[in-house]
Structure 1
C-alpha cells in the first residue's frame, strides 16, 4: 500500500490513465473491425472510407503511446493490402 501522498496520487493518476488508454485502444480496435468487416463483405468503397478513417486513429494511438509505431504501420499495411485486393 502506498504510504506517501505522492505515491497515493500516482495510484490515482495511473488508474485514470489506464482507463483513458484502454478506451483509446478499444476505439482503435473498433475502427479496425469496421475495415475488416467491409473487406469480408467485399464492399470496396465502404472499406476505403473505413480505412481512411482508421489510419489517423491508428497513428493517434502511436502519438499517445498506446501502440508501437511498427505495430500501427503493420496493421495499416495489412488492412490496405486487403482493401487493394478487392476487385
Structure 2
C-alpha cells in the first residue's frame, strides 16, 4: 500500500488511466469484431464499411498509446488482406 501522498496520488492517476485505456482497447476490439463478423458472413459491403471505420479507430488507439504502432499496422494489414480476398 502507498505510504506517501505522492505515491497515493500516483496510484489514483494510474487507476484512472487504466480505466481509460481499458475502454479504448474494448472499443477497438468491438470495431475489429464487426469486421470479423462481416467477413464470416461473407458480406463484402458490410466488411468494407466496417473496415473503413475500424482502421482509423486502431490508429487513434496508437496515438493514445494503447497499442504499439506495429501491432495496429499488423492488424490493419491482416484485416485489409481478408477484406480484399473476400471481394475478389
Query: Do they superpose with TM above 0.5?
Result: yes
Taking the TM superposition and a 5 Å limit, the aligned residue runs for 1:6-17 are 6-17=6-17
1:54 is aligned to: 54
User: Unaligned regions of 5+ residues in structure 1, if any?
Assistant: none
CA offsets, 1:54-84, max 9 Å, x none? 0110001100111000000000000001100
Any runs of at least 4 consecutive aligned residues in structure 1 with deviations exceeding 2 A, and if so which? none
- State how far apart, in whole Å, the 2-side matches of 1:83 and 1:67 are: 22
Return 5+ residue gaps in structure 2 as ranges. none
CA distance in 2, matches of 1:67, 1:45: 27
TM-score, scaled to structure 1: 0.97
1:20 and 2:16 correspond: no
Instruction: Tell me how far 1:4 sits from its aligned partner.
Output: 1.1
Q: Is residue 31 from structure 1 mapped to residue 31 from structure 2 by the alignment?
A: yes
- Measured after TM superposition, the shift of residue 86 of structure 1 is 1.0
Q: What is the TM-score when the length of structure 2 is the normalising length?
A: 0.96
